[in-house]
Structure 1
Amino acid sequence: MPTWSPPSPSPTRTRRSASSTPPRPATCRWPFRFTLEHGGRLPSGDPLDEAIARTDAETGAYPAYYMINCAHPSHVEPALQTEGAWRRRLRGLRANASRRSHAELDESTEQGDGDPQQLGEDYLALHGLLPRLNIVGGCCGTDERHVEAIARRLLAVQRERREDV
């Protein structure tokens, strides 16, 4: 089966912003991912809404959408307290099973697998704050039990919505 790979950017098809963003093909947009620490801020300390607004401003809204990865839902929820259209740009979440910070995970000998069912509930709670969330999965410490619990909870909501129509 043939595999797909992104096109190589050519000098005539590449745009560059004033920031340190890499060259990119003008015909193919990609998602951009952030990770968050406790309190819902990027490791730099920047709030998520400001990071998305700045990235969009510096790149002409080039990212197709945004994702959050390698952060527990309890780290994500505080970032979503600010209202705005920026939340519609968030479409994906790949969460850690553990509530530990990145520093704690780096120092730990095990990642911790948390509670898969609770992680599914946590995703469900975030789903209400992220109207376009449609890409989900697991990151550090997750396995098929976590992904199954996430899918089960979110699919149940989809079925309920269809029944209400």
Structure 2
Amino acid sequence: MKKHRENLPQRAGRLFLTDGGIETTLIYQEGLDLPYFAAFRLLQDETGRETLRRYYRRHAAIAVAHGTGFILESATWRASLDWADRIGMSAATLDEANRTAIDLLHGLRAELATEASPMVVSGCVGPRGDGYDAGTIMTVAEAHAYHGRQIDVFAHAGADMVTAITMTNVPEAIGVTLAATNAGMPVAISFTVETDGRLPTGQRLQDAISAVDEATGAAPAYYMINCAHPTHFVDQLPAGEAWVARVQGVRANASRCSHAELDRATELDAGDPVEFGTLYRDLRARHSHVNILGGCCGTDHRHIEQVVGHFRKAA
């Protein structure tokens, strides 16, 4: 089942796509009620699971049509103990949801992957707190213990890797990295940044990446940036610097709004998919090593189509 765990194909440099903003798509376009953005609730019944399959198929089809790789990211960003408790889900039921999330992706890979479009099954870990606000920061040991349970489920279910999405602070990122390493899992760390390109803690992205690498022996397979518009961080990635080479993926927001503005918003801001694709093209022109491209809040299949379309035109 763990087809790519020992050799992640996206590390070789070829283009890999991911999906868009799964929670915002399900809530605003599918009309689903997902308190706390808890998409993992859909894993509990066949109707919900089929909704997720349709979502993934639509995005994976773009990769297959263009001959790119694809990362199947599990719908488990909120599937950790604190968030499960908020919606009244037991720890045992949560574990089953995390297992089901990986099993669902294995089924989709068997259905959709081709020789030209390899697909990686990734177990998605989200922040213990709010993805827009660092809030109370755990110690490394606390983060290791908290996230270790979910990561162990992913490991036993046969996921290829772990991706920590929307990390707001360094101790939590280190804790996730150590938990994944202990479980024998490759891990990618994706930090979120504010409009000034800094983490919600105020720390520079460069310093955050350096701190995680120093504390873990550079254990993350690579880093990513997500949940921020490209204009919020592109100027913070100086070409040619060694730490920038560690940033291999981007899952940007559709909106130019700040996290605070998005938190107050009552309607979805899907931005401009065509402009979104142009910004990704320009980012790739400057940083050709960034080869994992997807979306976050407000993005959907239209944005991913524009991303790969602009890349193909540029090529």
Deviation at 1:128, TM superposition (A): 2.6
- The structural deviation recorded for 1:110 is 1.5
Which portions of structure 1, spanning 4 or more consecutive aligned residues, are displaced by more than 4 angstroms? none
CA contact (8 A) 2:239 2:287 kept: no
Matched, 1:94 2:94: no
Of the three residues 19, 28, 47, the one matched with 2:185 is: 28
Q: Is the CA contact (8 Å cut-off) linking 1:95 and 1:137 kept in structure 2?
A: yes
Gaps of 5+ in 2: 2-102, 107-120, 122-152, 157-170
- Give the match for residue 112 of structure 1: 269
Residue 133 (structure 1) shift = 1.0
2:190 partner amino acid: R
Give the distance between the partners of 1:7 and 1:54, measured in 2 at CA: 25
The 8 Å contact of residues 88 and 131 in structure 1, kept in 2 or not, is answered as: no
Structure 1 segment 6-85 matched on structure 2, within 5 A: 6-7=154-155, 21-22=175-176, 23-26=179-182, 27-81=184-238, 83-85=240-242
The CA deviation at 1:50 is: 1.0
Distance 1:146 1:132, change over 3 A: same
CA shift digits 1:35-94 (9 cap, x unpaired)? 111111111111111111111001110110001111100111122137511111111111
- Distance, in Å, in 2 between the alignment partners of 1:61 and 1:150 is 29
Alignment of 1:152 with 2:309, yes or no, is yes
Deviations, residues 119-151 of structure 1 (Å, cap 9, x unaligned): 111111111332311111111111111111111
CA contact (8 A) 1:90 1:130 kept: no
Q: Which has the higher helix share?
A: 2
Task: Supply the AA of the counterpart residue of 1:156.
Answer: K
Between the aligned partners of 2:191 and 2:208, the Cα distance in structure 1 is 9
Partner of 1:13: none
Instruction: Indicate whether 1:128 and 2:285 are aligned.
Output: yes
RMSD: 2.1
Q: Distance in 2 between matches of 1:97 and 1:136?
A: 13
Comparing 46-55 with 22-31, which one deviates more in the overlay? Answer: 22-31
Give the aligned length. 148
Q: For residues 79 and 139 of structure 1, what CA distance do their matches in structure 2 show? A: 19
**In structure 2, distance between residues paired with 1:147 and 1:83:** 27
TM-score scaled by length of structure 1 = 0.81
Identical counterparts, % of pairs: 44
- Between the aligned partners of 1:141 and 1:123, the Cα distance in structure 2 is 16
SS in 2 for 1:45: coil
TM-score, length basis structure 2: 0.44
Amino acid of the structure 1 residue aligned with 2:193: L
Shift of 1:25: 3.4
Distance 1:90 1:116 in 2: 23
